[in-house]
Amino acid sequence: MQIPLVDLRANYLSIKKDIDQAIQKNIANQAFIMGSEVAEFEEVFANFNESKFAISVANGTEGIHLALQAIDIKAGDEIITCPTTFIATIEPIFYLGAKAIFVDCEGKTGNIDAKKIEKAITKKTKAIILVHLNGHPCEMNPIMKIVYKYKLKLIEDCSHAHGSSYNGKKVGNFGDIGVFSLFPAKILGAYGDAGIMVTNDMKLMESLKLLRDHGRLSKYEHKIICYNCRLDTLQAAILLAKMPHLKKWIKRRKDISSYYSKHLNSCVSIPPQFQIGEQAFYMYVIRTPNRDGLKEYLAKKGISTVIHYPTPLHLQPACKMLGYKKGSFPNAERYSDTILSLPLYPELKNEQLDFVIDAIKKFFALSDKL
Ligand SMILES: *Cc1c(COP(=O)(O)O)cnc(C)c1O
């Protein structure tokens, strides 16, 4: 049996008619730039996320970039974030001449350790970028206290967390702006690059709309110098066709994750159960000291796994100028060394799930005998 980490084709086949119709309709209309599906998708996504406004964008990285511009991040500003994330979380910080200041993660979730944030705050600190890693919401109560106390701005990178909530509130609504990547393999994914930003602040919504489309007030009236980072209408049409299924897919990911946890609890560290809200599982991540051996064993059985992410950002060559070294963030380093993401997608069949679980149990039974 071959089991991929994600199976985008299976997802397509499950809704082929809707997708094909949406694409055909868009091509027939020839409305490729800011066609009606863009605003329609934004409205449906805003409803889904219980946000006042949603503004689509070319991709998640651009979404974070525009969010930082909208909250007025300037050269020299410091922005606190966590090294256990994809590099897109921090690239826009450097693009604007600002500086990323890392805070270590909490050992079980890989999310920023709220207890360590205050120590990293200086006079130059302007904002925090949170990442709700693998869909597990960050500890919002203590974090919001710090945000208010120091009058900081807050951007949430929700690229792993479509559908996650904390204490009854959807992620993306805690900060000034929440950003969701809609990269094909994300919980909600386009058929190419895509992203969406959410906010509950009318002024920020207006800024974000200017920022993504040439600072336009009307076709040839430009209020400020901006850029072009619009979402393709074709992608909006595809995303719109997927939206009616999103809740059901998130539920299936959660059920698969619970099943993994129930059966793997005895041999690996399973993801901590989130108690005060909903975790939408982008990845199902186990931790084990024998990660590399397990990964290799599963590969031989035809089971694909991945390490999200193998190198914490403070040890990336691209971040050398920040002056961190091995040992700077021990939790993040240990996390990266022990994590493994198992196959997880809504179309994963129960037999496949049992096959993965059996293989993992066999691996640990064998290693116990050595
Ligand atoms: C996917 C991702 C992004 C943005 O990715 P794009 O490919 O630009 O859409 C940002 N942050 C995290 C944590 C991600 O996983």
Residue type, 338: T
Give the pocket of ligand 1 (CB within 6 Å).
Answer: 59-61, 85-86, 88-89, 131, 157, 159-160, 181, 183, 193, 195
Nearest residue (CA) to ligand 1, atom 13: 86
Q: What CA–CA distances, in Å, run from 45 to 13, 25, 244?
A: 23, 20, 10
**Of residues 248, 232, 165, 246, the one with CA closest to residue 196:** 232
Distance (Å) from CA 304 to ligand 1 centroid: 21
Q: What CA–CA distances, in Å, run from 8 to 191, 299, 357?
A: 10, 20, 22
Distance (Å) from CA 180 to ligand 1 centroid: 8
Phi, psi dihedrals of residue 169, rounded to the nearest 5°: -115, 130
Distance (Å) from CA 50 to ligand 1 centroid: 21
pLDDT confidence of residue 367: 80
Spatial separation of the C-alpha atoms in residues 278 and 254, rounded to whole Å? 9
Q: Which atom of ligand 1 is nearest to the CA of 186?
A: 1
Question: Is the CB of residue 57 less than 8 Å from the CB of residue 197?
Answer: yes
Residue 202 burial (C-beta neighbours within 10 Å; 0-12, 13-18, 19+):
exposed
Q: Encode the chain (370 residues) as per-residue pLDDT tens digits.
A: 899 999 999 999 999 999 999 999 999 999 999 999 999 999 999 999 999 999 999 999 999 999 999 999 999 999 999 999 999 999 999 999 999 999 999 999 999 999 999 999 999 999 999 999 999 999 999 999 999 999 999 999 999 999 999 999 999 999 999 999 999 999 999 999 999 999 999 999 999 999 999 999 999 999 999 999 999 999 999 999 999 999 999 999 999 999 999 999 999 999 999 999 999 999 999 999 999 999 999 999 999 999 999 999 999 999 999 999 999 999 999 999 999 999 999 999 999 999 999 999 999 998 877 6
**Of residues 123, 23, 127, 125, the one with CA closest to residue 67:** 127
Spatial separation of the C-alpha atoms in residues 84 and 3, rounded to whole Å? 26
pLDDT confidence of residue 207: 98
* pTM flag (> 0.85): yes
Residue 304 burial (C-beta neighbours within 10 Å; 0-12, 13-18, 19+):
middle
Spatial separation of the C-alpha atoms in residues 6 and 4, rounded to whole Å? 5
Half-sphere exposure of 198 (CA within 13 A, CB side): 28
The answer to whether the bond into 12 is cis (omega within 30° of 0) is: no
Nearest residue (CA) to ligand 1, atom 10: 88
Collapsed DSSP state (helix, strand, coil) of residue 169: strand
**Beta-carbon count within 10 A of 232 CB:** 22
Strands across the sheet containing 165-166: 169-170, 165-166, 277-278
Q: Which atom of ligand 1 is nearest to the CA of 282?
A: 15
Distance (Å) from CA 142 to ligand 1 centroid: 25
**Beta-carbon count within 10 A of 370 CB:** 4
Nearest residue (CA) to ligand 1, atom 6: 60
Collapsed DSSP state (helix, strand, coil) of residue 61: helix
Structure letter (DSSP) for residue 213: B
Token pair 């993504």 is found at 212
